[in-house]
Amino acid sequence: MLDGVLRAVDEAERALGGLVIWQTKEPFSLGANLAAIAPAIEAKQWDRIEAVVAKFQDTAMRLRQSLIPTVCAVRGMALGGSCEFILHADRTVAALESYIGLVEVGVGLLPAGGGSKEFAVRAAEEVRRGANGSQIDQLPFVRTYFQTIATATVAKSALEAKELGYLKASDVVVLNAYELLHVAKSQALALADAGYRPPLPARNVPVAGKTGIATLRMMLVNMRDGGFISAYDFEIGLRVARVLCGGDVESGSLVDEKWLLDLERREFMELLRNDRTQARIAHTLKTGKPLRN
């Protein structure tokens, strides 16, 4: 699938005005196929798995930085990795009945197809927009995205997806799902006709650093001690916090997208090597339900 998307972007850049990613019927996508990577996990082929994760990140970034506008046309469920495609496309057109979310925490992982990176960048952008030259605490913006990932929140409609940050203000919600492809194509052509140019890679992204991690850690401690999350949920949440806060750096440090992508991939692989994550994946594949271990 990743090869197909990359080839589609290449073809669109060569001969077309834009690219629409669309499914003929629901769901849009349920994300990465855990059953497909289970044998590689059992064989502990970590380098092979990390190469796939890196390719997933590269594909998401290709959607962001391609020379033509990219549009996701979404209806039904769009979970995990497909949600990360939505976060990186230039525009998303979503049917009202769309259920979008980053659900990786449920299987003991964190979003590593660029989703964690993207929320860290968006938090920094929101601080910049509201600052107007004044000092604004970054942590409330980071905390909101952290709660969304750490609780594996799925939007119950496209409108709620906007509230949660899965969809941007510029994304389009359509009431009639049968108009989805038509509207998506119109959006892609409108962007092309307006002289589309890809955004520059995010640089000089201020992060919350060690101070932010410590604050989110205390939030997790309260949830764990109150019986709201398990001991392993706490560990997963702490790794999510590290990525969203830019790692163990000083508060206000400036990083770029590559730093955040490397960080999310590294934390993802650390979780995947853990026996408790592997137990969650096996349980989900067997029963279709999450394991709270």
What integer is the mean pLDDT of 261-273?
Answer: 98
Assess contact for 81 and 220: CB atoms under 8 A.
no
Q: How high is the pLDDT of residue 127? A: 86
Residue-wise pLDDT for 158-197, tens only, equals: 999 999 999 999 999 999 999 999 999 999 999 999 999 9
The runs of H, that is alpha helices, within 98-254 are: 115-131, 139-150, 158-164, 180-193, 209-225, 231-244
Q: How high is the pLDDT of residue 51? A: 97
Residue-wise pLDDT for 7-37, tens only, equals: 999 999 999 999 999 999 999 999 988 999 9
The DSSP call for residue 169 is: T
Residue 144 has pLDDT above 90, yes or no: yes
Q: How high is the pLDDT of residue 196? A: 96
Closest alpha carbon to 83 in 178, 152, 4: 152
Residue 145 has pLDDT above 90, yes or no: yes
Assess contact for 262 and 237: CB atoms under 8 A.
no
The DSSP call for residue 202 is: P
194 membership: H or E segment, kind and range = none
Q: How high is the pLDDT of residue 136? A: 64
Distance CA 210, CA 263 (A): 14
Q: How high is the pLDDT of residue 288? A: 87
What integer is the mean pLDDT of 230-240?
Answer: 96
Distance CA 122, CA 148 (A): 13
Give the confidence band of 268 by pLDDT, cuts at 50, 70, 90: very high
Give the confidence band of 135 by pLDDT, cuts at 50, 70, 90: low
Residues sharing a CB contact under 8 Å with residue 223, sequence separation 6 or more, in sequence order? 229, 233, 234, 237
Average pLDDT across the chain, whole number? 94
Whole-structure pTM value = 0.93
Residue-wise pLDDT for 26-83, tens only, equals: 999 999 889 999 999 999 999 999 999 999 999 999 999 999 999 999 999 999 999 9
Task: Identify the bridge partners of residue 78 per DSSP, sorted by sequence position.
Answer: 29, 100
CA-based radius of gyration for the chain: 19
What would the CATH number be for the domain defined by 1-103+154-198?
A: 3.90.226.10
Domains of the chain: which residue ranges? 1-103+154-198, 111-151+200-293
Residue-wise pLDDT for 100-132, tens only, equals: 999 999 999 999 999 999 999 999 998 887 655
Residue-wise pLDDT for 198-226, tens only, equals: 999 999 999 999 999 999 999 999 999 99
The three-class DSSP label of residue 95 is: strand
Q: How high is the pLDDT of residue 292? A: 86
Distance CA 25, CA 155 (A): 19
Distance CA 21, CA 37 (A): 24
DSSP code string of 154-168: B-SSHHHHHHHTSS-
Total residues belonging to the chain: 293
